[in-house]
Amino acid sequence: MLVFGSGVFFQWIEGPAAQIRKLIASLHGDPRHYDIVSLSQSEEERERLYPNWDMERVEAEDIRLVLQDALESAEDKNNVAALTRILKQLDSGPLDSLGQG
């Protein structure tokens, strides 16, 4: 799932752990990507959250709540700084709905 709004991308990625680690390493090496924060790297075996992906509208406040929860539990200083910048970016733009604006 990829959501964009108010200048912020929010992405949920599922798949085999080795492939996800390789993808994240690639994103970190790409200068077009910054303030990359992993909210979870759970490797538990479970049913995929998005097995049959469909597009839908996501309200900005829903994303804000996820990011605020992540900030409250973040221990890595780089993640704290990145999440703070992302939330500030959200606050600076129109928040009617992510994907519009």
Task: Check: CB of residue 87 under 8 Å from CB of residue 64.
Answer: yes
| Residues 6+ positions from 12 with CB-CB distance below 8 Å | 1, 49, 50
Domain boundaries, the chain: 2-92
Please give the average pLDDT of every successive group of 10 residues along the chain, which has 101 residues: 77 82 91 85 69 70 84 89 88 53 39
Give the whole-angstrom CA distance, residue 59 versus residue 3: 10
What confidence score (pLDDT) does residue 46 get? 67
User: How far from chain centre, in Å, is Cα 40?
Assistant: 10
Tokens 């599922």 sit on residue: 14
Q: What is the pTM of this model?
A: 0.51
